[in-house]
Structure 1
Amino acid sequence: MAIGMIGEKVGMTQLFNDKGLAIPVTLLKIGPCTVTQIKENEEYTKIQIGYSLVKPNKLSKPMLGHFKKNNLPCFQYLKEYRSKNIENLNIGDVIRITNIKENELINISGTSSGKGFSGYQKRHKFSRGPMSHGSKNHREPGSIGAGTTPGRVFPGKRMAGRMGHTKVTVKNIKVVKIDHENNILIIKGCVPGKKGNIIYINKA
């Protein structure tokens, strides 16, 4: 697999190996993806791929012109990868999971599940205060800085705030099984995000 691909998370289940052990797996629907743009450089080549067809009225005029320039259908998601070897790829070529093999290692990136506004214990694993009678510091943050010097709180202080909904990359995930007919990739372990989330894969 020279470049990455785009897909979506289907869900989790389990498979049993020859010894009868249950293996937690995640099902991913990968591709097919279409090459929408190729930019060549001296050091590397930028390859843009598209995934999931969408109606033209859902896109802006600049995006419509981008697809119309190369006589391509409209795609909802685009992703650009760097590659030193384009392997005779042309604009309009369809990329499938046929290049991926079982027991191969891949990297998967996605957006983690959002947890909303979370406190100190949940977000940063802070320890709680004493729960005995009279204590007024059960789930409080405690002191957050010095007094007169420096007289302020330094940026990056671990405090309560939005948790999750960030880009997460899981590396070296093993491919357990491949369903070429339905473009389903079964990988060992979990993948960031909820069901239906868009994920990006590339070779480890």
Structure 2
Amino acid sequence: MSIGIIGKKIGMTQLFDEKGFVVPVTLLKVGPCTITAIQKENIYTKIQIGYEEMNPNKLTKPMVGHFAKNNLPCFKYLKEYKVVSSEIPKIGEIIKIDKIKQEQLVSVSGISIGKGFSGYQKRHKFSRGPMSHGSKNHREPGSIGAGTTPGRVFPGKKMAGRMGNKKVHVKNLKVIKTDNTNNILILKGCIPGKKGNIIYINQK
């Protein structure tokens, strides 16, 4: 059965494998998550999980009623994923990190670091102009289109703009180690976002 769980990014470090090679890894504080809703469809089942309990006074009345319907505490973060399996969990069941299998692959998604309004060179890796005294285009974009025809700039043109702060999905990250006592998950490679970012982990 597909397993979905939510966690927070702690940071990056490095480990040594059995052959003595350095492996870059990311540490995550994962779960425990509670199943808050289940919706059955024709082919698959939607499972909603909640993470990090919070004060109900900080939520809207519809959200408080959503949790109170099943006698559940209020959660700050919710995530929904699909399951195609005959083994369907029950509402209120707690998903812990011990359900993630080691030495297998997982997919993660999160919000990348926002870098604000960035120029051409930083955002799209454009090359700069000549830096000699007579040059007027050191870091200018150059031509952005034709003149009379079509008389406009085509949509999708690579120009300066906001960089980062987008949802990034990374597939096939290897699970190096799981610490069931402290709910720590160690994955090989890098994960989008800064320290403290909410990360969604899925293992099929």
| Same fold at TM > 0.5 | yes
Q: 1:3–1:19: structure 2 CA closer, same or farther, 3 Å change rule?
A: closer
Question: Contact 2:25/2:188 (CA < 8 Å) preserved in 1?
Answer: yes
Q: 1:96–1:86: structure 2 CA closer, same or farther, 3 Å change rule?
A: farther
Residue 24 in structure 1 maps to residue 24 in structure 2? yes
Query: How many residues of Structure 1 are paired with residues of Structure 2 in the alignment?
Result: 204
Aligned to 2:9: 9
Cα distance in 2 for residues equivalent to 1:142 and 1:101: 52
Aligned to 1:168: 168
Percentage identity across aligned positions?
A: 71
The Cα shift of 1:20 comes to 2.4
Cα distance in 2 for residues equivalent to 1:21 and 1:87: 40
Aligned to 2:198: 198
Q: 1:54–1:200: structure 2 CA closer, same or farther, 3 Å change rule?
A: same
Q: TM-score, normalised by structure 1?
A: 0.97
TM-align CA RMSD: 1.1
Aligned to 1:58: 58
Give the letter aligned to residue 190 of structure 1. Answer: C
Question: Contact 1:45/1:86 (CA < 8 Å) preserved in 2?
Answer: no
Cα distance in 2 for residues equivalent to 1:22 and 1:126: 33
Q: 1:192–1:118: structure 2 CA closer, same or farther, 3 Å change rule?
A: same
Decide which moves more: 46-55 or 97-106. 97-106
The Cα shift of 1:203 comes to 1.5
Spell out the pairing of 1:1-204 with structure 2 (5 A cutoff). 2-85=2-85, 87-203=87-203
Q: Deviations over 1:4-23 (max 9, x none)?
A: 11111011111112232221
Question: Contact 2:3/2:100 (CA < 8 Å) preserved in 1?
Answer: no
Cα distance in 1 for residues equivalent to 2:145 and 2:88: 59
Cα distance in 1 for residues equivalent to 2:159 and 2:88: 51
Structure 2: tracts of 5 or more residues without a match: none
Q: 1:70–1:83: structure 2 CA closer, same or farther, 3 Å change rule?
A: same
Give the letter aligned to residue 149 of structure 1. Answer: T
DSSP 3-state at the match of 1:142: coil
Give the letter aligned to residue 53 of structure 2. Answer: L
Cα distance in 2 for residues equivalent to 1:40 and 1:61: 25
Give the letter aligned to residue 194 of structure 1. Answer: K
- Over 3 Å off, 4+ runs: none
Give the letter aligned to residue 25 of structure 1. Answer: V
Cα distance in 2 for residues equivalent to 1:47 and 1:125: 41
Q: 1:73–1:86: structure 2 CA closer, same or farther, 3 Å change rule?
A: farther
Give the letter aligned to residue 154 of structure 1. Answer: F
Structure 1: tracts of 5 or more residues without a match: none
Question: Contact 1:8/1:28 (CA < 8 Å) preserved in 2?
Answer: yes
Q: TM-score, normalised by structure 2?
A: 0.97
Cα distance in 2 for residues equivalent to 1:4 and 1:128: 44
Cα distance in 2 for residues equivalent to 1:108 and 1:9: 11
DSSP 3-state at the match of 1:4: strand
Question: Contact 1:3/1:82 (CA < 8 Å) preserved in 2?
Answer: no
